[in-house]
Amino acid sequence: MSLLRTIRSPVLLPAARFHSCPSLWAVRRTLKEFKLADIGEGITECEVIKWNIKPVASVQVFDPLCEVQSDKASVEITSPFDGTLKEILVQEGDIAKVGAGICLIEVEEDSPSNADGVPADDSGPSSPLSGAPQSSEASLFGGSTENQTGVLRSRRHPLDPRAQDVEAAAPSVDVLATPSVRHFARQAGVDLTLLAPGSGKNGRIEKRDIEVFLAMSSDTAAKSEVPSSSQSKDDAVNVEIVVELGRTRYGMWKAMTKSLEIPQFGFSTTLDLTALHELMPVINAHIPTRFLSTTPAPVNVAVISPSAFYELPEPAPVPPFARFSRLTFLPFLLKTLSRAMAEWPLFRSSITSQPSMSSNEKPALTIRPHSDVSIALSTPTGLYTPTIERVDSLSVYNIASQLKHLSYLGRQVPCGLGVAEMPKKGGTITVSNIGGVGDVDVSSPILVPGGGVAIVAVGRAKWVWDMNSGDGTGQRRLKAGVSWSADHRVIEGAELVAFVEVWRKWVETPQRLIADAV
């Protein structure tokens, strides 16, 4: 007699219920908060201009994450981790604080320990087991429950006395929001439970939801204070409006406040541009073709060509927005200024260190091998000071092309000036062409920290009758006023005057540039 034994099919239980140890099933994924590092001396915050990658995109070490802009320059921020960008904490156009997190990056770790990171977001595939099917038998294995958004949440054992406290403290509404949105809500005093579910994916509350809520609240308050119909419409127009300073203008506020810490010495004088004015027609008639904004008329190709024996390489092309039709005085003033700076190393210097008064260390200056000049540029978004480096090695045509290029980038909204145009070290002298804005002769320029050791404002050139010229009867001369301010901590007044006299000789006898180039 044979005994028959009923064979029962094994019950298939979810794999995630047998073991949840990540070190056995898969590598551990954790979220690393990337904090904004110090990008320059005295910089405590900056604006996020552009994110180069989007959330859920893979990143490698040194891949460009975003571009931020401070009061001094634009800086490209690179990734310190290999992983996946999970969340952007500071959106484009928002202000990021130095030392605060700007994004969350999910990285893989071989060790299950999590000292520096935080657990990875459950919304992503944190492990191969996250996609395991759920069943009603989950409670038998005491591990977790699933909410309406499909997110697994750990649950205490029913016999644990703390289970009732946790359930009582749990909100009745699931609030999904990023840390940056929660921070914005706290600052605005908005209860996120009143906005759930939000307009984002899976009911996530977005920043726009809070802004709409605040706008509706303000409209409700405004309706409760509607003026009577007898009130004149002119009263609604004659209302004071409070406008908060933008990032660039606020940066100017702080820079000018810090400028009070610098003792400055300044004076004004005039430069005779008559000789330079007489050279301008000849120089403008021989502008290289690649710099011209308009295409010149075709000319007959010479029978004998210089390239017949060996074809010379083509010069670097000039972008259309960096071309011009005629030269002005400013490129010559910058070129002659660089010649004077070559004779005066003090004006090619920048402050390297500024120890405190209690320290035994002494301040130091760094002398640069070339003349770096910054240009004060007024843009739709505020005042910027891009730098033209190695002015002494450039021709007046190259200088004019770079000025045209900087002006084009400054007119863009948002401002197109980047790290290449605004290096961190800046220039040692700043030039402001106030004469190009209005009928101004002299002014009082202000030197700010990081703006070099001196600043000069150039006024508008005017024809005047100079009684000191000629044989005593006077002559008609073209003159422009220039106003200087220098850091009196490192430059003496006599040194500034002597330096300007050297510059004057270069400007008033431009023929020296020909001999200097031979």
CB 397 within 8 Å of CB 291: yes
Identity of residue 2: S
Task: Kindly tell me if the per-residue pLDDT of 317 is higher than 50.
Answer: yes
β-pairing, 101-109 vs 28-35, is: antiparallel
Structure tokens of 293?
């904004």
CB 73 within 8 Å of CB 41: no
Q: What is the mean pLDDT of residues 340-349?
A: 96
Question: Rounded mean pLDDT of the chain?
Answer: 79
| Least confident among 128-137, 281-290, 321-330, 461-470 | 128-137
Task: Kindly tell me if the per-residue pLDDT of 226 is higher than 70.
Answer: no
pLDDT, greater one: 290 or 175: 290
| Least confident among 68-72, 149-153, 395-399 | 149-153
Q: How confident is the model at residue 109 (pLDDT cuts 50, 70, 90)?
A: confident
- Report pTM: 0.58
**What is residue 110's predicted lDDT score, i.e. its pLDDT?**
65
- Nearest Cα residue to 331 out of 426, 403, 405, 436: 403
Q: pLDDT tens, 4-21?
A: 444 444 444 444 444 454
Interacting residues of 67 by C-beta distance below 8 A, sequence separation 6+: 48, 49, 50, 52, 74, 75, 76, 77, 418
pLDDT, greater one: 245 or 18: 245
Q: What is the distance between the alpha carbons of residues 506 and 336, in angstroms, rounded to a whole number?
A: 6
Q: What is the distance between the alpha carbons of residues 326 and 324, in angstroms, rounded to a whole number?
A: 6
**What is residue 280's predicted lDDT score, i.e. its pLDDT?**
93
pLDDT, greater one: 271 or 211: 271
- Nearest Cα residue to 267 out of 96, 495, 419, 108: 495
Q: What is the distance between the alpha carbons of residues 187 and 193, in angstroms, rounded to a whole number?
A: 15
Q: What is the distance between the alpha carbons of residues 349 and 452, in angstroms, rounded to a whole number?
A: 8
Q: What is the mean pLDDT of residues 40-52?
A: 78
**What is residue 71's predicted lDDT score, i.e. its pLDDT?**
65
Q: What is the distance between the alpha carbons of residues 302 and 287, in angstroms, rounded to a whole number?
A: 20
Q: Which residue has the tokens 């210097």?
A: 349
- Cα→Cα distances 92→31, 50, 87, 468, Å: 21, 6, 13, 59
Q: What is the mean pLDDT of residues 207-226?
A: 73
Q: pLDDT tens, 453-505?
A: 999 999 999 999 998 887 778 899 999 999 999 999 999 999 999 999 999 99
Where do the domains of the chain lie, and which CATH numbers do they carry?
Answer: 179-218 (4.10.320.10), 249-293+314-517 (3.30.559.10)
Task: Kindly tell me if the per-residue pLDDT of 24 is higher than 60.
Answer: no
Q: How confident is the model at residue 307 (pLDDT cuts 50, 70, 90)?
A: confident
Q: What is the distance between the alpha carbons of residues 165 and 154, in angstroms, rounded to a whole number?
A: 15
**What is residue 40's predicted lDDT score, i.e. its pLDDT?**
65
Q: What is the mean pLDDT of residues 193-217?
A: 83
**What is residue 458's predicted lDDT score, i.e. its pLDDT?**
96
- Cα→Cα distances 281→225, 399, 433, 456, 461, Å: 68, 18, 22, 27, 17
In the chain, pLDDT over 70 holds for what percent of residues?
A: 75
For 62, other C-beta atoms within 10 Å of its C-beta total 10
For 215, other C-beta atoms within 10 Å of its C-beta total 10
Q: Which residue has the tokens 């069943």?
A: 135
Task: Kindly tell me if the per-residue pLDDT of 170 is higher than 80.
Answer: no
Q: What is the mean pLDDT of residues 233-254?
A: 77
